[in-house]
Structure 1
Amino acid sequence: MTSSISTASDTVTVLVHGSEIARLAREGFPNLRVLSAKDLTSLEDQVADADIIVGSGIDFPVQLFDKARRLRWFQSTSAGIDAILPIRDRVSDLIVTNARGIHADSIADFVMTGIGMMHWDFPRFMREQSGREWHMRPVQPISHKTLGVVGLGSIGVEIARRAKSAGMTVIGSKRDLTSPLENVDRLLPPKDIAELLRLSDFVVLAVPHLPETTKLMGREQLRQMRRGAFLINIARGSVIAESELVEELQAGTIAGALLDVFEREPLPTDSPLWTMPNVLITPHVSGYPSDYTARVFEIFGDNLQRYLEKKPLRNVVDLTRGY
């Protein structure tokens, strides 16, 4: 990527938490000053010089913002800005952009793979294979099933598209119901989540991390689901009341769960979720495609050119809403 940068932009300093994006920025914008911080110490040493910071919105040490006197723009390398939300009133004049959109295809792949595995009960097939057991059983087509998607941002919309292409009925929940969404058969407001849970064979949580989504799924909501239904969480671990989920899974309230995110990560080794036969656990990988860095830089590089040309940026986060 080649940048046409005016002489006035030579004073702009970009601080990148990570070396690979810093390398790409130096190659694409040779007239800019690009600093790379590999750890907290080097971040702290250089943050006062930064006009722009590139780092994870999930775990960036936001206490450093107090020292970032020149900071005008924070580019998150993640879709979430969990770390910034608690101090959003203090940084209301800061432009915050995220990596929204780069995860959608990868997470949709993950969700559809998980739906197939749970629907066909592949964990049971694998147990039977290890015991050299041969047990045939009929399975209803996935096209006869209903998927409920809680949260229809870019990720939820792509999941809905994939499910619809598999012939599933799709129900979705989102705040803004003014416009119908392609591939969503029925739209419901968040207050009617009980209806979505009641009608769905698979429920996918794809909401952002916000105060109102914390413990969105607890005992009450799990008991509103069908007994043969499965829960899939690719949002944040905080969206589920984990101890209540464990109890309801043990009680057979729902058929099972696919969990990629947890209240504590890594998931503690003593968590009962590890050994449950009706639970699939993955280490927060659904939104981690092999070309993740290149995808982030595609957004950041475009935004950096826009910033230098004083044009509107992509993926600007509304800090009042949190996404």
Structure 2
Amino acid sequence: MQIFVNTPFNEALRHTLRQALPAGHQLLFKVELPEDEHRGAFRRADAILGNPPAAWFTEAPAQLKFWQLESAGFDGYKHLHLPNVTVCNLADYFSVPCAETIVAGILAFYRGLEELTLLKAEKHWIGSPIRYRLGLLTGKRVVILGAGSIGQTVKKMLSGFDCSLQMVARSHPDATIHTPEALLAILPQIDLVINCLPGAAKGFFTADMINAMPPNAVFANIGRGSTVDEPALIKALQEQRLAGAVLDVTEVEPLPSNHPFWSMSNVILTQHTGGGQANEQEGKVAIFADNFRRFTEGQPPHNQINLQKGY
């Protein structure tokens, strides 16, 4: 098979990938090709690793059989119709770093770490007065939107804080809330909402839901910015009808310099770094090698998705 690798691996990782695959497969690394040969190599591919521009699929490879995305999200590809292609994402791979990021951000919010970091930069000691403004994550009433791998990992981590946990999903057996109406009814009693929804759930968390949250509540988002009514969230934060927000994702990224979130002291922004880790690229190589082997041996690959269904 000819394998087009869109991911810009360094020389060492390209060597690792070459060594990891059985003989008889040809790897075409985008970073090793002149720019005017990129599209041609893509069109000849039997398999793809990475996230090529969606526009390239107007001339999709006729013989394409397997595609391993290098991301958990795939909103930009949902319109593609590739009925004979096995497509996989990296949902499970990013679940732990994403969960750690959002839990860390929530802890930072409750424990005042962002304010304390700014005071350190200013060499300004306040001390005791801050103590009496700090909150606790322990014992919070939490709703997790989405019961996928990230939501499940968040739930596991929060169980150590003795939180009261409920999950929202249409049919997942771990979910106790299955409809928007049921979620809306319970929100006035919730301290913390953590959004782990994929882009397919665009607009799910509505203005009515935001307005139903109590003024001491916190909204956290490690899913997709498009799944929440962002103008309503901004308004609620500005009017102090919400205590704060912890956001790894926003509707527009990068966030424009004039966006209100930048100047809000009750908002923590982690700039869509949630899935990151030092060995992220090494992990992508290992996952592709394993999934490609499984595919060629007739075994089901991990994290297979349906582009048009959004999961």
Q: Which residue of 1 aligns with 2:225?
A: 237
Shift of the 82–121 alpha-carbon distance from structure 1 to 2, 3 Å rule, reads same
Asked whether 1:35 is paired with 2:28, we answer yes
Find out whether 1:227 has 2:186 as its counterpart. Answer: no
Q: Structure 1 residue 164 and structure 2 residue 166: aligned?
A: no
> Which residue among 255, 259, 275 is the counterpart of 2:263?
275
Instruction: Give, in angstroms, the shift of residue 79 of structure 1.
Output: 1.1
TM-score by length of 2: 0.89
Q: Deviations over 1:21-68 (max 9, x none)?
A: 644321112521000113874431211210001113xxx312322241
Q: Which amino acid aligns with 1:18?
A: T
The answer on whether the counterparts of 1:16 and 1:22 sit within 8 Å (CA) in structure 2 is no
Q: Is 1:13 equivalent to 2:2 in the alignment?
A: yes
| 160 and 72 in structure 1: CA distance in 2 versus 1, 3 angstrom threshold | same
Q: CA deviation at 1:215?
A: 2.1
Deviates more, 1:234-243 or 1:279-288: 234-243
1:62 paired residue among 49, 54, 58: 54
Change (3 A) 1:251 1:49: same
Deviations 1:208-248 (A, max 9, x none): 111xx212223221111121011111111111222222111
Which residue is 2:189 aligned to? 199
Q: 2:91 — aligned with what?
A: 100
Alpha-carbon offset, residue 284 of structure 1? 0.7
Residues 261 and 267 in structure 2, CA contact (< 8 A), matched pair in contact too: yes
Partner in structure 1 of residue 307 of structure 2: 319
- Offset of residue 265 of structure 1: 1.2
AA matched with 2:21:
F
Aligned residue number for residue 249 of structure 1: 237
Q: What is the aligned partner in structure 2 of residue 121 from structure 1?
A: 112
Gaps of 5+ in 1: 1-11
Aligned residue for 1:111, secondary structure, equals helix
What CA distance in whole angstroms lies between the structure 2 residues aligned with 1:144 and 1:175? 26
Residue 289 in 1 paired to residue 277 in 2?
yes
Q: Percent identity?
A: 24
1:150 aligns with 2:150: no
- The 1:249–1:111 alpha-carbon spacing in structure 2 relative to 1, beyond 3 Å, is same
Q: What letter is aligned with 1:144?
A: G
Q: Which amino acid aligns with 1:92?
A: P
Q: 1:63/1:293 Cα in 2 relative to 1: closer, same or farther (>3 Å)? A: same
Distance 2:271 2:159 in 1: 27
The aligned residue for residue 304 of structure 1 is: 292
The answer for unaligned runs of 5 or more in structure 2 is: none
Amino acid at match of 1:272: P
Q: Number of aligned pairs?
A: 299
Query: How much does 1:133 deviate?
Result: 2.1
Residue-by-residue CA offset, 1:238-276 (whole Å, 9 max, x unaligned): 112222221111011110101111122111001111011
CA RMSD of aligned residues (A): 2.1
Contact 1:22 1:35 in 2 (8 A): no
Over residues 142-166 of structure 1, what are the superposed CA-to-partner deviations in whole Å (9 max), with x where a residue is unaligned?
3221121000101100100100111
**Higher relative contact order, structure no. (Cα contacts within 8 Å, ≥ 6 residues apart):** 2
In 1: Cα distance, 2:309 partner to 2:210 partner: 26
1:4 aligned residue: none
- Distance, in Å, in 1 between the alignment partners of 2:177 and 2:245 is 23
Residue 91 of structure 1 and its aligned partner are, at CA, apart by 1.6
Deviation at 1:125, TM superposition (A): 3.9
Scaled by the length of structure 1, what TM-score is found? 0.86
CA contact (8 A) 2:111 2:134 kept: yes
Whole-Å separation in 1 of the counterparts to 2:177 and 2:160:
21
